[in-house]
Structure 1
Amino acid sequence: MRFSLAATTLLAGLATAAPSSSKNDVNLDKLARRNGMLWFGTAADIPGTSETTDKSYLSILRKKFGEMTPANALKFMYTEPEQNVFNFTQGDYFMDLADHYGHAVRCHNLVWASQVSDWVTSRNWTATELKEVMKNHIFKTVQHFGKRCYAWDVVNEAVNGDGTFSSSVWYDTIGEEYFYLAFQYAQEALAQIHANQVKLYYNDYGIENPGPKADAVLKLVAELRKRGIRIDGVGLESHFIVGETPSLADQLATKKAYIEAGLEVAITELDVRFSQAPFYTAEAQKQQAADYYASVASCKHAGPRCVGVVVWDFDDAYSWIPGTFEGQGGACLYNETLEVKPAFYAAAEALENKPCTDLNVFYPQKLWENAPSPTKSPVVHILSRPIGREELFAYTNGHFLIDEQLPFDRRYVRFDVDALCNVAVVADDEPSPIITIEKMEGGFSKALLIQKENGKEGIAKVPCRIAGPAGLTTASEHTGIPVPRVLAWSSDSSSPVGAEYIVMEKAAGVPLFQRWADMAEIDRLQLIKNLTKLEAQLSSIGFPAYGGLYLRADTGAQQSNYQMLNESIDPSHTFCIGPSCDRSFDIDPDTALGQSKGHLNQGPWNTISDVGICIAKRELSPLSRKRLDRPPTFYQGSVEEQAELLQSTMSLMPLLDSHPALVKSGRPILWHTDLHMGNIYVAPDESSQVVSLIDFQSLSVLLAFLQAQWPIFLKPPPNYPKGFVQPRLPDDFDELDEESKSLAQQEWSQAKWAKAYEVSTYLEDRFAYDAMNVPRVFRELFIRCAEVSEVGVVPLRACLIEMFQNWSGLGFTGQCPLSFTEEEIKTHERQFTEYEAWHEVQRLAWECLDTDAEGWIAPQLDITEKRRQNRALLSTFLERTAGEWSPEEARQMWPFPEEA
């Protein structure tokens, strides 16, 4: 999709739904990651079993899962078979295989009643002696595997069903203190090797639903916290029996209780077994699918603090169940011949926030009481007026002065409304039918306000084809600003919706434009301060490269071309930098020469010069040679001259990499580059408090001196004095007429708020302040380079001449590699005057007609009257320029001549 969404709290979890997938290629791990989880994983009894050499099994393990838990290789009896004699061969093999596959590993486990070496259970230890045994084992094991583990199950299955401690050599000898010491030793062992990012978990069964055992775990957690000992998460084993699985509601409530206690949670050993044969009847598998759906959906609905799902092996052939429970089996997602079962697809549906279609019902009644029925025909409105589907697909947010059909066609999007509603029904934690859709169209996407029967509202967006590179921008917007939260999305236009889409929560608060006029000055100043604080958070995030921000799970086979974020800001390796989703890298088939865009380098880029050279090469490409509908009205240069100037620009770019000011102010940052009052939402009862930013279209991680800029509503007026200079009214203000006084007061007021933003940025975000004050020509160099195919050589050549004439003053050493003769400069000045005249005509026309470069007219304005005004203005322009240009030349200067 053509959106980009990034965040001040970049690493906050996501709550998104995945694009629909073909049943022939469902990848549970990708679906889980797209929904904000870290993985969908599996246990594997490797090495030492036939799984180790089963090629079909290993192929599925590699392709379909993203995490591996060693079923036995790290347990006490295998890692320390004799006292202080450690054998990590099996564990190392397992870790190496996981590394080879690119999978994460949950390390299982350190302290447990079972599978402990005989030398531990056969002796009569004193408490002191056994504490030392436990400490030595934990230190040696944890430090051997170090950061290769995402998490350790420190203590496993320590509690009885009634909430008391269960019997074990550890508890029977040391008492309940062993539980707390185990976590303390693990914490100390990791701290010694600077691996504090490894999570510490308690893991158990029977704690997946409310009851004494779950309550006991919460008390253990509280006691650990009281003692200052770290615990990061609780693993919910989730070994269930078909038809006896806890309800989704109970599982969800328990997960939320752990999360509210400050923990992350994970389903760590999921399987759902049949207590008796037959295992593979249609009715039996239907119930098993419903049970899997409930478990996986509970993690999905718990939000990003439920970090993943792990099944306890994925096929019935290698399941532990038949060897442990006689006559029972069929517990896994694959059968004994490695064919997927309905439970597999039910897990996928749960991850996608979709109804469990393999059960042939919209909602399994077992999962939700009072289940909502499918949304079939919501009422569609625009400005509270009922409209038909065709009007929903068409562009209706205004008109265009000339050639209206082309921009209308570029904004027309047909999609399956009912399929989109069915996605939105289950996208959040409170499934409910859609009753109305209010169309709120934007310039680059269909924006739909969706209202549910339960009163909750959300926003769905479907991009127009002019929004940006297909498939890149949805994947990028999905990366997570705190509000509005992304609930569901697909970057696949072949999904059931029939188009790319994104579903989000409705932004909290009210748009700033509804409050600004009535805000007191002190509140405006506080809002500006809060806004700059938020921007400071954005600019403080350190990125490794320039490009678009993505989830790793969305990069697919191209992952090698993406760059990981630093571990200090992204310890879970969830995000990466990939191609830019900027609209300038998309090629409009209506105006391009019909070439493919596949060879364009869209990023990521590593240096300042990489970005600049890429822009120049894009302009050199035949892709960006637009068809000329009209001859140029000012000098643009031949194709050869444009190419030569771009080559000169590319030769200059590497020198920017070592420029002192640019090295500092050119690092990669995120920034909202379209901050107007409609994109800023404030608290209803506190207008100075920013609660949401929306519309992050085509957001990229780019050069700070290109990104950092004034919000649109705070931009300085003409002749604004930068620096610590107080804006003042003109000295002759009292002598001005009323109209001039009003204009002067407006400019003074605008300058005052611009100054407040400038000073606040200086105080709260010095880095951005410095980037905004880099010499203007550096920013212009990149901007004008990107315009060559549109406006020709003159603006870019103006930058190069300015750099040539002020080389040392701009901070460069040595001689400028470019040179211009006096005659070339004089010729350029004449051509630049023509360019400025053309530009001024465009600006005046836009101002007078209240439009933009595309000739867009707002829907509340009369298009017939605006077209009449356009004809009248053109006629006046032709008369006033009669002595300077011919009628045809003047008509070509005018931006909207055809209709006139």
Structure 2
Amino acid sequence: MKIKFLLMLTSFVFFLNACSKDGNEAAANLETPVANAPKEVNDNGFKAKWNYVSQSKSYLLDVSTTENFAAFVPNYNAKEVTDLNEVVVGLTGGTQYYYRVRAKNETQISDYSNVISVVTTGSSGIPEDPTFLKVKTNKLANPFFVGMAVKASQLTGGSPYDIILKNEFSSISAEYEMKMDPISTASGVYNWTAADKIVTYGNSNGINVHGHALVWHNAVPAWLKDFSGTDAEFALEVKKYITAVVTHYAGKVKSWDVVNEAVDDNGSMRNTLFLNRMGPNYIKDCFQWARNAANAAGDTNLLLFYNDYATSTNMAKQDKVFSIVDDLKAGNLIDGLGFQMHNKYLTPTKAQIETDINRAVAKGLKIHVSELDIQVNPSNDISTFTNERRLAQKEKYKEMVQLYNALPAANKYALTIWGMRDNDSWIPYSTELNHTGNDWPLLYDSNFAVKSSHTGFLEGLD
């Protein structure tokens, strides 16, 4: 009987140890929760949400006004919550907040979740910063050009465009009028009128002029599309054009996008007229012709850029662009890379942009954020420019400028906004983007008043 009792006791102890071990293993392996986008955002708070974690008994919620959680919102420093959401209250309208969460099982606590950003609706009561962009930028230890895309018709003396450009911007890019189609009317025949007006305006007002763009598949004049000569003769026509334009603006245009958007979204070379008629080395040829023309004209300081879009979120495209860059660098033909950055208020992420741009920095290239705008209505889910989207856009502009400003001095060139007023932008109702509704992607509203995005740009310089 005694032996039987001892066997039972041993089995019981073994069972307890096994249970304890299983429990500890479960707790030790407590998964990291995933925080979700907030719901019910209002002037004073929002509902924070996260996914269920197996074995967790509660969750620890942090809310902060800083992304690194250097300080916490009162009552939200590891606040214990037993549900999968928590209504955060007592916040300030029009303010940026961040939240994260950890899972908890008695004494075991998981790693931190991802960080979620949220901007409360309403107004913080702080007026927009009226400081001129280039004035604040020029005070930096390592300044850069602040650019704007323009049309020749906007450059009338005393117009709102003229006043804002002279006050705010240190660089301009032609939106369309310096591309091949409007300049080249026939073989060896050029219409310089609009392009000359833009270049003269910049030169006369101490504003840098960036040339955009020598070769782009969507700006080919009809005569060249229909060119009936041989492929070799076609290439000579492109060479003649590039040589004429670079020579005409030698010393007046400080940089050129030599080739624009040559890579398809699938990561292959875009199937264009230039590729078909000139072969896979056409990009290198165009850069060589531009470099030769500049040198022959005595413009040895001309900067040559390759320019493209959506490389931060498309790794196949990004990889192809950098393979082109490597080929051009091997021939000492490229000085910089243009990142268009037609972004949205939620994407790309800061990490995606940094990864993309840092690849160019590592190759010693100058960086041009060349066509920046930030959509707030990509899904056409709002009919008016809401406070929530206004403030989210402000933070995205701030993030982009902070990221750019942090680049080494040698890699900075310009950060160019693609248009002045929201109603001038190409984004609203764009068939190319399948953007079916209105949008408000720029720094000024339809009345030339600065927006919160303008303030965000300024805050990014701090």
Shorter-chain TM-score range: 0.5 to 0.7
Residue matched to 1:321:
427
Q: Quote how far apart the aligned CAs of 1:129 are.
A: 1.4
Distance in 1 (alpha carbons) for counterparts of 2:345 and 2:155: 26
Residue matched to 2:122:
none
Q: Quote how far apart the aligned CAs of 1:339 are.
A: 1.3
Larger Rg belongs to: 1
Residue matched to 2:264:
160
- Secondary structure, in 3 states, of the residue corresponding to 1:99? helix
1:42 aligned to 130, 148, 151, which one? Answer: 148
Distance in 2 (alpha carbons) for counterparts of 1:225 and 1:52: 40
Distance in 2 (alpha carbons) for counterparts of 1:30 and 1:338: 19
Which one-letter code corresponds to 1:290 in the other structure? E
- Say if 2:203 and 2:209, in contact at 8 Å, map to a contact too: no
- Say if 2:155 and 2:198, in contact at 8 Å, map to a contact too: no
Distance in 1 (alpha carbons) for counterparts of 2:356 and 2:281: 26
Which one-letter code corresponds to 1:28 in the other structure? L
Cα 1:240–1:173 shift into 2, 3 Å: same
1:130 aligned to 234, 237, 249, which one? Answer: 234
- Say if 1:51 and 1:57, in contact at 8 Å, map to a contact too: yes
Cα 1:105–1:328 shift into 2, 3 Å: same
Indicate yes or no: 2:322 matched with 1:212: no
Residue matched to 1:346:
456
Q: Quote how far apart the aligned CAs of 1:51 are.
A: 6.1
Distance in 1 (alpha carbons) for counterparts of 2:313 and 2:405: 16
Distance in 1 (alpha carbons) for counterparts of 2:398 and 2:129: 19
Q: Quote how far apart the aligned CAs of 1:109 are.
A: 0.5
Distance in 1 (alpha carbons) for counterparts of 2:298 and 2:155: 34
1:143-542 equivalent positions in 2, closer than 5 A: 143-209=247-313, 211-226=315-330, 228-243=331-346, 245-273=347-375, 274-275=377-378, 276=380, 277-304=382-409, 305-322=411-428, 324-325=430-431, 326-352=436-462
Which one-letter code corresponds to 1:335 in the other structure? D
Q: Quote how far apart the aligned CAs of 1:341 are.
A: 1.2
Distance in 2 (alpha carbons) for counterparts of 1:192 and 1:30: 36
Residue matched to 1:737:
none
Q: Quote how far apart the aligned CAs of 1:162 are.
A: 2.5
- Say if 1:106 and 1:152, in contact at 8 Å, map to a contact too: yes
Which one-letter code corresponds to 2:365 in the other structure? L
Distance in 1 (alpha carbons) for counterparts of 2:253 and 2:371: 17
Which one-letter code corresponds to 2:143 in the other structure? M
Question: Comparing both structures, which one devotes a greater share of its residues to helix?
Answer: 1
- Secondary structure, in 3 states, of the residue corresponding to 2:338? strand
Cα 1:34–1:320 shift into 2, 3 Å: same
Distance in 2 (alpha carbons) for counterparts of 1:170 and 1:302: 34
1:806-821 equivalent positions in 2, closer than 5 A: none
Distance in 1 (alpha carbons) for counterparts of 2:257 and 2:401: 21
Residue matched to 2:174:
70
Q: How many residue pairs are counted as aligned between the two chains?
A: 327
Q: Quote how far apart the aligned CAs of 1:212 are.
A: 1.6
Distance in 2 (alpha carbons) for counterparts of 1:240 and 1:125: 41
- Say if 1:32 and 1:308, in contact at 8 Å, map to a contact too: no
- Say if 1:51 and 1:318, in contact at 8 Å, map to a contact too: no
Q: Quote how far apart the aligned CAs of 1:91 are.
A: 1.2
Residue matched to 2:132:
27
Question: Comparing both structures, which one devotes a greater share of its residues to strand?
Answer: 2
- Say if 2:304 and 2:334, in contact at 8 Å, map to a contact too: yes
- Say if 1:255 and 1:302, in contact at 8 Å, map to a contact too: no
Which one-letter code corresponds to 2:178 in the other structure? L
Q: Quote how far apart the aligned CAs of 1:302 are.
A: 2.1
- Say if 2:425 and 2:441, in contact at 8 Å, map to a contact too: yes
- Say if 2:312 and 2:355, in contact at 8 Å, map to a contact too: no
1:674-689 equivalent positions in 2, closer than 5 A: none
- Secondary structure, in 3 states, of the residue corresponding to 1:310? strand
Which one-letter code corresponds to 1:247 in the other structure? T
- Say if 1:184 and 1:229, in contact at 8 Å, map to a contact too: no
Q: Quote how far apart the aligned CAs of 1:319 are.
A: 1.4
- Secondary structure, in 3 states, of the residue corresponding to 1:258? helix
Cα 1:76–1:164 shift into 2, 3 Å: same
Normalised to the residue count of structure 1, the TM-score between the two structures is 0.35
1:576-655 equivalent positions in 2, closer than 5 A: none
Q: Quote how far apart the aligned CAs of 1:151 are.
A: 0.6
- Say if 1:210 and 1:250, in contact at 8 Å, map to a contact too: no
- Secondary structure, in 3 states, of the residue corresponding to 2:406? helix
- Say if 1:29 and 1:41, in contact at 8 Å, map to a contact too: no
Cα displacement string for residues 459-479 of structure 1 (whole angstroms, at most 9, x for unaligned residues): xxxxxxxxxxxxxxxxxxxxx
- Say if 1:333 and 1:343, in contact at 8 Å, map to a contact too: yes
Distance in 1 (alpha carbons) for counterparts of 2:281 and 2:384: 43
Q: Quote how far apart the aligned CAs of 1:100 are.
A: 2.5
Distance in 1 (alpha carbons) for counterparts of 2:429 and 2:251: 33
Distance in 1 (alpha carbons) for counterparts of 2:231 and 2:281: 10
Residue matched to 1:550:
none
Distance in 2 (alpha carbons) for counterparts of 1:54 and 1:316: 21
Cα displacement string for residues 384-421 of structure 1 (whole angstroms, at most 9, x for unaligned residues): xxxxxxxxxxxxxxxxxxxxxxxxxxxxxxxxxxxxxx
- Say if 2:235 and 2:277, in contact at 8 Å, map to a contact too: no
1:87 aligned to 158, 177, 191, which one? Answer: 191
Distance in 2 (alpha carbons) for counterparts of 1:292 and 1:94: 27
- Say if 2:287 and 2:333, in contact at 8 Å, map to a contact too: yes
- Secondary structure, in 3 states, of the residue corresponding to 2:333? coil
Cα displacement string for residues 474-497 of structure 1 (whole angstroms, at most 9, x for unaligned residues): xxxxxxxxxxxxxxxxxxxxxxxx
Cα 1:61–1:71 shift into 2, 3 Å: same
Q: Quote how far apart the aligned CAs of 1:121 are.
A: 1.3
- Say if 1:125 and 1:173, in contact at 8 Å, map to a contact too: no
1:538-557 equivalent positions in 2, closer than 5 A: none
Residue matched to 1:654:
none
Residue matched to 2:25:
none
Which one-letter code corresponds to 1:343 in the other structure? S
Query: Unaligned 5+ residue runs, structure 1?
Result: 1-21, 353-900
Distance in 1 (alpha carbons) for counterparts of 2:313 and 2:136: 25
Distance in 1 (alpha carbons) for counterparts of 2:391 and 2:158: 29
Cα displacement string for residues 194-253 of structure 1 (whole angstroms, at most 9, x for unaligned residues): 111010000110124561211111111111233x2410000001011232x212222122
Q: Quote how far apart the aligned CAs of 1:57 are.
A: 2.1
- Say if 1:44 and 1:70, in contact at 8 Å, map to a contact too: yes
Cα displacement string for residues 735-756 of structure 1 (whole angstroms, at most 9, x for unaligned residues): xxxxxxxxxxxxxxxxxxxxxx
Normalised to the residue count of structure 2, the TM-score between the two structures is 0.68
Cα 1:209–1:255 shift into 2, 3 Å: farther
Distance in 2 (alpha carbons) for counterparts of 1:66 and 1:279: 32
Cα 1:320–1:130 shift into 2, 3 Å: same
Cα 1:250–1:77 shift into 2, 3 Å: same
1:678-717 equivalent positions in 2, closer than 5 A: none
Q: Quote how far apart the aligned CAs of 1:268 are.
A: 0.5
Distance in 2 (alpha carbons) for counterparts of 1:212 and 1:344: 33
- Secondary structure, in 3 states, of the residue corresponding to 1:146? coil
Q: Quote how far apart the aligned CAs of 1:44 are.
A: 0.6
Distance in 2 (alpha carbons) for counterparts of 1:150 and 1:200: 9
Q: Quote how far apart the aligned CAs of 1:62 are.
A: 1.2
Which one-letter code corresponds to 1:238 in the other structure? M
Distance in 1 (alpha carbons) for counterparts of 2:143 and 2:307: 19
Cα 1:237–1:54 shift into 2, 3 Å: farther
Distance in 1 (alpha carbons) for counterparts of 2:229 and 2:157: 41
Residue matched to 2:100:
none
- Superposed CA RMSD: 1.9
